[in-house]
Amino acid sequence: MTLISHKIALDVMSIRRDFPILEVKMRNNKDLVYLDSAATSQKPNSVLQAEARFYEQVNSGVHRGAHYLAELATDQYETARAKVANFVGAKPEQLVITKNATESLNLLAYAFATQNSSLLLKPGDEILVTEMEHHANLVPWQQVAEKTGAKLRWIPITPAGELDLSNISELINKKTKVISFTHMSNVLGTITPVAQIASLAKSVGAKVFLDACQSVPHMSVDFATLNVDAIVFSAHKMLGPLGVGMLVATEELLDEMPPFLTGGSMIEMVSMDKSTFAKAPKKFEAGTPNAAGIVATAAAVDYLNKIGMNNIQAHEEHLTEYLLAGLAQMPGVQVFAPNLIERGSPVSFAVAGVHPHDVGQVLDDDGIAIRVGHHCAWPLMKKLNVTATSRVSTYLYNEQSEIDAFLTSLERVRSFFGVK
C-alpha cells in the first residue's frame, strides 16, 4: 500500500516520553497504539505529578479553614481556575468548575426548566440542537422540553456529514430561545459554523451554548470572540484528570441562572427558614470541590501551551489526512464523511459485513485501542443508517507509524472476515 507522507509538525518522540502509559504492554505483549483520544486522552507526567503533589503537600478543603494548608489549597485552586479560564479566553469569574461536561450542560439546561427562574421556558418556546449531538447535549434539552412544554427542534445533517443550513432561517426564529450544539462532532469530526449560527441566534435574542469537548483539546478556542453565551469542556479530553468539567459563560448569564446544587460553600447567608447564595461562580460549586483535579488540569494547560495549540492542530491534520488516504485504498471499508471541508481528528468507519465490536477485538489483539459503538450519538447513527461504527481519533502523542500499524491490523480484519 503506497501512502502519502507528511512532515511531522511536532517532536512526537520527545512528547511520547512524557506519557508513561504509552510504555504499557497490551495483551499478547503488544505495544500500545492508543487511537481513542476523543473518548479520553492520556496524561503526561507533569499532570500526574501535579495531582499527586497536591495530595502530598497541600491536601485541604478550599474556601474554608484558616490554617496554612487551607490557604495554600485555596490559592492553588483559584490560580488554576484563572489559568484554565485564560486558556479559552475567559475571565476567572466566568469559569464554573463541575465534575464533567455532562454536569455543565445539565446545569445550563436546569436553568431553563426551573420555576421562578428568569430563564424559564414556556409552551410555544423552541430549543434548537443538531442531529449530530452527543447524548449529553441532547437528553437534558429533551427533559427541559418535556417539563416546560417548549418544542425541541434540530438542524439536520447532509450526506456529506455537515450541518444542513438550507432551512436555518426557519429553524432559528422569534420562538427560538436556546440553541445548543457541538463545536466538533465526536463521531464525524465535523467542525460546525459557529459564527453563522451564533449571529442568527443573536438576531432573535436566543441564548447560544457550545459543546466544546472535542474542540478545546485540539485547536485554539477563544470564548471572548465566539459570540456565544456559554461553552462546556472536560479536563480528561485535554490531558487532564477524570472528574473535572468546565462551564464558561457570560457574567450576565451566570447572574441569571439559579444554582443547580445547593449546600455548603455556595451560600451567602443561611437561617433556619431561608438562604441566600454567593455570586457566581461560587454559587454553582456546592460542596467540597475536586481541588487536586483542577490543579492537575492547570498543569495540562501548561503542557498544551508549551507545545502550542496551532502545532497540535497541524499535527493532527497531517495524521488525519494520512489515515483517510489509507482507508480510501481499502475495499469494503466505508468512511463516514471523509471529505469534510473543515474537520477534526475523529474518523468513523465501517467494514462491510463485520460488526464494529469484532473490528475492535481484532485490533485489540494487536495492541491497538480504538472506540467502537454508538459513541453516545444514537440519532446520528440512525441518520448514518448503522447501529454502530468504529472510530479512530489521534492526539499530539500519536505518530505516523501508529497509523501504519492500525492500517495493517485493519487489513488483517478484512482478511480474517473475507471482506472483498
Considering the domain 49-305, what is its CATH architecture? 3-Layer(aba) Sandwich (3.40)
From first CA to last CA, the distance across the chain in angstroms is: 16
pTM (predicted TM-score): 0.95
Lookup result for grid cell 489559568? 83
* CA distances from residue 397 to 24, 112, 228, 303 in whole angstroms, order as listed: 15, 40, 31, 12
Residue 33 DSSP code:
E
* CA distances from residue 298 to 10, 77, 213, 352, 404 in whole angstroms, order as listed: 22, 9, 16, 44, 33
For β-strands 207-211 and 176-182, DSSP reports them as parallel
Q: Is 213 a catalytic residue?
A: no
Q: What pLDDT does 66 receive?
A: 85
Q: Per the structure block, which three cell numbers stand in for 381?
A: 447513527
Lookup result for grid cell 454553582? 284
Q: Per the structure block, which three cell numbers stand in for 373?
A: 459503538
Structural domain boundaries in the chain: 12-43+308-416, 49-305
For β-strands 230-234 and 245-249, DSSP reports them as antiparallel
Catalytic residue (one of 26, 267, 309, 376): 376
> What fold characterizes domain 12-43+308-416?
Aspartate Aminotransferase, domain 1 (3.90.1150)
pLDDT tens digits for range 253-269: 999 999 989 998 888 99
Per CATH, 12-43+308-416 and 49-305 having the same topology is answered no
Environment class of 266 (CB within 10 Å of its CB; exposed 0-12, middle 13-18, buried 19+): buried
| Pairwise CA distance, residues 253 & 76, whole Å | 26
At 277, give phi and psi (nearest 5°): -110, 150
Count of Cβ atoms closer than 10 Å to residue 287 Cβ: 11
C-alpha atoms less than 13 angstroms from C-alpha of 50 in its C-beta half-sphere: 25
Q: How far is CA 171 from the centre of its chain?
A: 25
Q: How far is CA 80 from the centre of its chain?
A: 19
Query: Is 351 within 8 Å of 414 (Cβ atoms)?
Result: yes
Helix, strand or coil, per DSSP, at residue 216: coil
| Pairwise CA distance, residues 189 & 202, whole Å | 26
Nearest to 399 by CA among 12, 9, 132, 2: 12
Query: Is 144 within 8 Å of 137 (Cβ atoms)?
Result: no
Residue 240 DSSP code:
-
pLDDT tens digits for range 155-170: 999 999 999 999 999 9
Query: Is 100 within 8 Å of 243 (Cβ atoms)?
Result: yes
Query: Is 223 within 8 Å of 242 (Cβ atoms)?
Result: no
Query: Is 403 within 8 Å of 319 (Cβ atoms)?
Result: yes
Lookup result for grid cell 478550599? 62
pLDDT tens sequence for the chain (420 residues): 334 444 556 999 999 999 999 999 999 899 999 999 999 999 999 999 999 999 999 999 898 878 999 999 999 999 999 999 999 999 999 999 999 999 999 999 999 999 989 999 999 999 999 999 999 999 999 999 999 999 999 999 999 999 999 999 999 999 999 999 999 999 999 999 999 999 999 999 999 999 999 999 999 999 999 999 999 999 999 999 999 999 999 999 999 999 989 998 888 999 999 999 999 999 999 999 999 999 999 999 999 999 999 999 999 999 999 999 999 999 999 999 999 999 999 999 999 999 999 999 999 999 999 999 999 999 999 999 999 999 999 999 999 999 999 999 999 999 999 887
